[in-house]
Structure 1
């Protein structure tokens, strides 16, 4: 550990309350517990509206154990909408689901690969995807930022993150990202955190601090690749300016005089 923020770190460790404080932050931004069951109840309506819809499954941050809801950001649960291969293009599927959500009065918001909706107070992220025939979990997703589709395996992403044993660190860093108003896509942040903590022991407080330092030195230069598709460069989902802003925020946090200025 370098000298940046060392006084903050030492005082927090000596007081022995840092882990309790971080757990209180995790509790504060916990998604609604009943949202997955509620979201699954939408399946029948969705399948009636879309005959080509193969399945609706809970995925994303909830399935990975990395979900947070901070202010107007974040979702209680993500739903993967798996459409048959012989349906319209991935972009067409995305647009059809968006228009359906509009008609239902769910006040949809376009996200990079999903569509955020609010249904009776639950925040749900709909992830329209076209199934890749012959491959159980492979799907083509429409990537709005680049107006292209990419092949990926959502289930392998879920398994990778859950096996990493870094879900608490990831949740805290997602909260940090949102509080500091950074455009840092969640899957990118998950993969970056796992890479930064490779080989390190389980110690949430040390690890969060380490990732912030790693962000300062490596975010702008480290390529991060989708582990299920080498042609899908996840680090390209942030611009150079967005990476610079995140790295600068990490430096600022490591200089903070109190942890309430890092996470609150």
Structure 2
């Protein structure tokens, strides 16, 4: 078995269907009902988003992301809305987990991320998100992220790097990871899967610490600021160790 064959077998094992029509109706209804109750008259919609929408989700990771959208004229600050949704999930026994822009829960045995957002205007794709770690809101365009990353031709490499991250317990936010893979392979000819993943590891070891990564939807959002330098050093050191491994089975499984 070649290295590419080995990695493709992992991707097949971890495949998550992208068709929103295949999402269990009970799951969509459950999350939707909770979010409608949370938002009240400010509720606009709930839509698939994040890794699911981009095609970069893995079966063993966060499988489904939902964007819970509040109306543009919502008076409640987004920070308070985020806290209220977290409290609602906790009261329902869903064991919420604060993540980078989302709240992680488990519903019907599935790992789900719910991203509270406020649309800037009813005819706009721009949304405001709350970053709990930084304690601030940012404006971005999740639909643009999904289209750009989903059409990059690098979703397989991204999925493998997410598995690499998860299997090492690294503090590497998914959006930052996705943009880092695109940066690592920017301008390079399309090589084999193993060669591309290797190039990403080299990038993480050599260039990641000093590379500023910006949100393609809003250059004022410095995505690389999501991590402290010590956390970036942890990722670079892990990449260095992986590059020293003799077999792909030791790099990602």
**TM-score scaled by structure 1?**
0.88
Q: Structure 2: where are the runs of 5+ without partners?
A: none
Q: Is the 8 A contact 2:38 2:84 kept in 1?
A: no
Structure 1 residue 248: deviation in Å?
1.0
2:193 is aligned to 204
Aligned length: 246
User: Hey, what does 1:5 align to over in structure 2?
Assistant: none
The alpha-carbon deviation at position 172 of structure 1 amounts to 0.1
- 1:45 to partner: Cα distance: 4.5
1:218 is matched with which residue?
Answer: 207
2:239 corresponds to 1:250: yes
Q: Does 1:120 align with 2:108?
A: yes
Instruction: Compare 86-95 and 228-237 and name the one that shifted more.
Output: 86-95
Structure 1 stretches of 4+ moved >6 Å: none
Q: Provide the C-alpha distance between the structure 2 equivalents of 1:37 and 1:127, rounded to a whole number of angstroms.
A: 19
TM-score (norm: length of structure 2) = 0.91
Corresponding residue of 1:131: 119
Alignment deviations for residues 19-60 of structure 1 (CA, whole Å, 9 cap, x no partner)? 221122223333478546444223244324422110100000
For residues 24 and 188 of structure 2, the distance between their equivalents in structure 1, rounded to whole angstroms, comes to: 32
Counterparts of residues 135-174 of structure 1 (less than 5 Å): 136-174=124-162
Is the 1:36–1:77 Cα contact (8 Å) retained in structure 2?
Answer: no
Matched, 1:78 2:65: yes
Alpha carbons of 1:251 and 1:37: their partners in 2 closer, same or farther (altered >3 Å)? Answer: farther
CA contact (8 A) 2:214 2:223 kept: yes
Query: Following the alignment from structure 2 to structure 1, what is the Cα–Cα distance between the partners of residues 242 and 29?
Result: 41
Q: Residues of 2 paired with 1:32 and 1:168: CA distance?
A: 14
Contact 1:39–1:79 (8 Å) recurs in 2: no
Q: CA RMSD in A?
A: 1.8
Partners of 2:225 and 2:155 in 1: CA distance:
23
Cα pair 1:32 1:122 within 8 Å, conserved: no
Q: Assess if the C-alpha contact under 8 Å between 2:64 and 2:111 holds in 1.
A: yes
SS in 2 for 1:41: helix
The one of 8, 13, 16 equivalent to 1:28 is 13
Structure 1, gaps ≥5 residues long? 1-15
